Amino acid sequence: MKITRKAFESELNEIGPAVHELMLLGGRVPAVMADRYGTWLRRHDSTAFNVALNKAHLAHAKKDGDQAYAHRIISKLWAIDNPHESRRVIAEEGSRPETEHLF
């Protein structure tokens, strides 16, 4: 089952940031936002939030055995990592990144 954005944000709020992410220790997250890390990450670094959410979706899809959904998530993650290349690949009809080696 797919995790919602709100549920993922709440989960990150509960977990909090890694210690090295706190500004007091040279990171980028203000200490006052440590208990609302998911909200801070969604607002201030939406790319990182979306990548983490997609990786959570991927983990759930692999656990549930839904390979078609897992392939779609991998394609999204690949497009984030390779923005210029993904436009070219998406433009080519029927083309998608190789992902078989991940399963």
* Domains in the chain: boundaries: 1-44, 46-103
| Per-residue DSSP letter, 92 | S
| Model pLDDT, residue 41 | 92
Rounded distance, CA 42 to CA 17, Å? 13
**pLDDT in single tens digits along all 103 residues of the chain:** 678 999 999 999 999 998 888 898 888 999 999 899 999 999 999 988 998 898 888 887 777 777 776 667 666 666 666 655 544 444 444 444 444 444 3
Dihedral angle of Cα 80, 99, 7, 28, to the nearest 10 degrees: -40
- Total residues belonging to the chain: 103
pTM of the predicted protein model: 0.64
Q: How many CB atoms lie within 10 A of CB 72?
A: 17
Q: How many CB atoms lie within 10 A of CB 3?
A: 13
Both structure tokens of 6: 């709100």
| Model pLDDT, residue 99 | 46
